[in-house]
Chain A
Amino acid sequence: MASISARRLRKELSEIHVEGCPVGINLLSADNFEQWLLSLEVMGESQYPGEVFALKFRFDPNYPISSPAVQFVVDGKYTSPVHPHVYSNGHICASILGNEWSPVLSVIGICVTLQSMLASCKKKERPQDNDRYVLHAPDNPKKTRFHYDVDTV
């Protein structure tokens, strides 16, 4: 039997192919069940008009029991959105990617959440501790224990 993650991701992939992605979200690559890339664009009025970002999802075999490692792609083509919860290395401080992860969430669900997060941003700025964090950040953002505060950013 295929691993849980492969089965679930196959299901998600087929839904994406059948139903399509929500507006502003596009599947860039899903060649395997270990890493997917999706593009993300904030629709409507926002701090990020015309900006297109890419999200990298990394899955381990326990997905969806364990959360995927999600970060914005930072390379020659894509940059990390300037946002109080997004570090310049692409790491994202969002509770649903950490201890509020639920297997009900999905790749598209995460994209939608992050889209909302960007859409509701009022002031483009980096996290306060961006430089310090980026200097020492692990490769996998799941290894970072973020501290989440209730907020409405």
Chain B
Amino acid sequence: MSSREPMWYCHECNAEMRPLMMPDPHCASCQGTFVEKMENPADDPREFSHGLGDEGFGGIPDYLEQMFSMPPPGVNPSMFGGPRGPTRSPTGGLGGSTRSRSPGSTPPGSGFRFEMHRGPGGGSSTFIIGGAPTLGRTPGTRPGGPGVDPVPNMSDYIRRNEGPTRDGEIQGQLMMQFLQMLRAASGNRAGGEDPFAALFGGMAGGPDGRMGDYVFSQEALDRIVTQLMEAGNTHRPVPATEEVIAKLDTDVLQEKSPLLEKDCAVCKEQFSLQTEDPDEQIVVTLPCHHPFHQPCIIPWLKSSGTCPVCRFALVPQPDQQASGSQPPGGSGGPSQGGSGTSGSPPRSPPPPSGSGPAPGAGSSSGGGGGGFLSNIFGHLNPLGGHGSSHSPPSTNNSRGPSNRNSTRRSTRGPSGDDVPGSWHDFLD
């Protein structure tokens, strides 16, 4: 071939051909423009097809091959009935590959259709799954003359296995059984990498109502949405590791310790030498200088590696970036309730019962919303006082006061019943 003018390759026909230059190259067979000149032997488009056939789908189990095989060339493809549009007679391309019309011309409701080509010289298989209204045909018209023993097509296959059905119809239930059967069969093939197992991966169709990418019950959909949300939930607190906890500053209370004047913010009790539990005389002081009873703080750190008082992060917390990157006072997106999107400056909530914001808490990045935590901290005397006397160095940390002051709320996202269309809302 190298001695001749290079051939062209039509990716729609999967065949070599000489294009019609009009003036751009068009496939001589299908008039398509997805054609490629085969000039570089190192990048032969046929190799792709080869690869697909020999590696990608090389493991097509025989039974599937049988089940799905198109009738040999020459047999009227209309025997497939149903989605009559997509299938044409073989076009004389290399290997007699079957091809489909462009998707635009596929009649609506013709179902999901894909083809497998086994490269030049190989055959091809066309699968049509679903589709309206029928894959069937009348029994008398079984194709193939004398000497031809046609492989069963899908409707034959199902009819044989499921007993008599109404002719010419594959109902959803039947299709499901068929697909389940496929799965069962591929499951029996020990060890083999069955492409169909991957294709219909995880297809149980059974109690969990799932089949591949499809779900058949609200419950199953909820589960999937929940999984997705868990996967994408970047706001869940990250617990402190044992290693981090082990390195924390730990003291045993002694007479005249300055700690004795302070409270543990978790149990709100003052540190004391007179405690029933000797563990409560062990005080853990976090790097932000906030002290806690050891039995109070350890369980918390194992659920969230932050200081309960100032949210100093002992381990990187996922919402640091998230909250830090949010525009101050910005509304949370299209899902936001109207009151957040008005664009007018937010009104600060009135301070509760006359107690001001906690000293040391920075002014809010978010305007009105920022007042909430400072309100709380302000309210929680004497905690606020302790906080101020310590003026924790949290401003030097990645999670500064401006972060912690923004209270985040939303109307979004109850896990059970969201719809895919709103997933963009979770990407923040």
Tell whether, in the assembled complex, residue B372 and residue A43 are in contact, meaning their CB atoms are under 8 Å apart.
no
Tell whether, in the assembled complex, residue A149 and residue B410 are in contact, meaning their CB atoms are under 8 Å apart.
yes
Nearest-neighbor residue (CB-CB) of B326 within chain A: A150
Tell whether, in the assembled complex, residue B308 and residue A152 are in contact, meaning their CB atoms are under 8 Å apart.
no
Nearest-neighbor residue (CB-CB) of A121 within chain B: B339
Within 8 Å by CB of A65, from B300, B380, B428, lies B300
Name the distance in Å between A89's Cβ and chain B's nearest Cβ: 11
Tell whether, in the assembled complex, residue A147 and residue B413 are in contact, meaning their CB atoms are under 8 Å apart.
yes
Nearest-neighbor residue (CB-CB) of B335 within chain A: A128
A138 at the binding interface (Cβ < 8 Å)? yes
B371 at the binding interface (Cβ < 8 Å)? yes
Nearest-neighbor residue (CB-CB) of A114 within chain B: B372
Name the distance in Å between B318's Cβ and chain A's nearest Cβ: 9
Name the distance in Å between B403's Cβ and chain A's nearest Cβ: 10
* Inter-chain contacts of B113 with A (CB < 8 A): none
* Inter-chain contacts of B331 with A (CB < 8 A): 149, 151
Tell whether, in the assembled complex, residue A151 and residue B410 are in contact, meaning their CB atoms are under 8 Å apart.
yes
B86 at the binding interface (Cβ < 8 Å)? no
Tell whether, in the assembled complex, residue A12 and residue B268 are in contact, meaning their CB atoms are under 8 Å apart.
yes
Name the distance in Å between B138's Cβ and chain A's nearest Cβ: 47
* Inter-chain contacts of A28 with B (CB < 8 A): none
Nearest-neighbor residue (CB-CB) of A91 within chain B: B414
* Inter-chain contacts of A137 with B (CB < 8 A): 414, 416
**Alpha-carbon distance A94/B411, docked complex (angstroms):** 9
B15 at the binding interface (Cβ < 8 Å)? no
A64 at the binding interface (Cβ < 8 Å)? yes
Contact indicator per residue, chain B 308-343, by CB within 8 Å of chain A (1) or not (0): 110100000001000100100111110111111010
Count residues of B near A (Cβ-Cβ below 8 Å): 75
Tell whether, in the assembled complex, residue A153 and residue B337 are in contact, meaning their CB atoms are under 8 Å apart.
yes
* Inter-chain contacts of A125 with B (CB < 8 A): 337-339
Within 8 Å by CB of A84, from B330, B407, B411, lies B411
Tell whether, in the assembled complex, residue B375 and residue A136 are in contact, meaning their CB atoms are under 8 Å apart.
no
A119 at the binding interface (Cβ < 8 Å)? yes
A62 at the binding interface (Cβ < 8 Å)? yes
- Which residues of A (63-92) have their CB < 8 Å from a CB of B? 64-66, 84-85
Nearest-neighbor residue (CB-CB) of A96 within chain B: B407
- Known contacts A113-B376, A152-B369, A153-B339: does B412 contact A146 (CB below 8 Å)? yes
Nearest-neighbor residue (CB-CB) of B349 within chain A: A116
Name the distance in Å between A29's Cβ and chain B's nearest Cβ: 21
* Inter-chain contacts of B377 with A (CB < 8 A): 104
Tell whether, in the assembled complex, residue A112 and residue B337 are in contact, meaning their CB atoms are under 8 Å apart.
no
B408 at the binding interface (Cβ < 8 Å)? yes
B119 at the binding interface (Cβ < 8 Å)? no
* Inter-chain contacts of A132 with B (CB < 8 A): 414, 417
- Which residues of A (1-45) have their CB < 8 Å from a CB of B? 1, 4, 7-8, 11-12, 15, 22-23, 43-44
Tell whether, in the assembled complex, residue B425 and residue A147 are in contact, meaning their CB atoms are under 8 Å apart.
yes
B237 at the binding interface (Cβ < 8 Å)? yes
Tell whether, in the assembled complex, residue A22 and residue B410 are in contact, meaning their CB atoms are under 8 Å apart.
no
- Which residues of A (113-133) have their CB < 8 Å from a CB of B? 113, 115-117, 119-123, 125, 127-130, 132-133
Tell whether, in the assembled complex, residue A8 and residue B268 are in contact, meaning their CB atoms are under 8 Å apart.
yes
Tell whether, in the assembled complex, residue B369 and residue A150 are in contact, meaning their CB atoms are under 8 Å apart.
yes
Within 8 Å by CB of B372, from A4, A117, A138, lies A117
**Alpha-carbon distance A4/B303, docked complex (angstroms):** 16
Tell whether, in the assembled complex, residue A99 and residue B329 are in contact, meaning their CB atoms are under 8 Å apart.
no
Tell whether, in the assembled complex, residue B340 and residue A152 are in contact, meaning their CB atoms are under 8 Å apart.
yes
A139 at the binding interface (Cβ < 8 Å)? no
Within 8 Å by CB of B337, from A116, A128, A144, lies A128
B125 at the binding interface (Cβ < 8 Å)? no
B236 at the binding interface (Cβ < 8 Å)? yes
Within 8 Å by CB of A127, from B226, B337, B418, lies B337
Nearest-neighbor residue (CB-CB) of B222 within chain A: A136
**Alpha-carbon distance A66/B368, docked complex (angstroms):** 27
Tell whether, in the assembled complex, residue A100 and residue B408 are in contact, meaning their CB atoms are under 8 Å apart.
yes
Tell whether, in the assembled complex, residue A122 and residue B347 are in contact, meaning their CB atoms are under 8 Å apart.
yes
Tell whether, in the assembled complex, residue A93 and residue B299 are in contact, meaning their CB atoms are under 8 Å apart.
no
Tell whether, in the assembled complex, residue A153 and residue B340 are in contact, meaning their CB atoms are under 8 Å apart.
yes
Tell whether, in the assembled complex, residue B413 and residue A145 are in contact, meaning their CB atoms are under 8 Å apart.
yes
Within 8 Å by CB of A145, from B333, B339, B369, B415, lies B415
**Alpha-carbon distance A128/B344, docked complex (angstroms):** 21
Residues of B within 8 A of A (CB): 222, 226, 229-230, 233, 235-237, 265-269, 276-277, 296, 299-300, 303, 306, 308-309, 311, 319, 323, 326, 329-333, 335-340, 342, 346-350, 352-353, 366-373, 375-377, 379-380, 383, 406-418, 425-426, 428
Query: Can you list 22 A-B pairs, Cβ within 8 angstroms, ordered by A?
Result: A11-B267, A22-B353, A64-B266, A85-B411, A95-B235, A96-B407, A99-B236, A102-B311, A103-B308, A104-B309, A112-B376, A116-B349, A122-B342, A129-B417, A137-B416, A145-B233, A148-B409, A149-B410, A150-B408, A151-B366, A151-B369, A152-B368
Listed from nearest, the 9 A-B pairs whose CB atoms lie closest are A149-B332, A84-B337, A147-B413, A127-B411, A152-B369, A116-B349, A22-B353, A148-B408, A152-B346
Residues of A within 8 A of B (CB): 1, 4, 7-8, 11-12, 15, 22-23, 43-44, 62, 64-66, 84-85, 93-96, 99-100, 102-106, 108-109, 112-113, 115-117, 119-123, 125, 127-130, 132-133, 135-138, 144-153
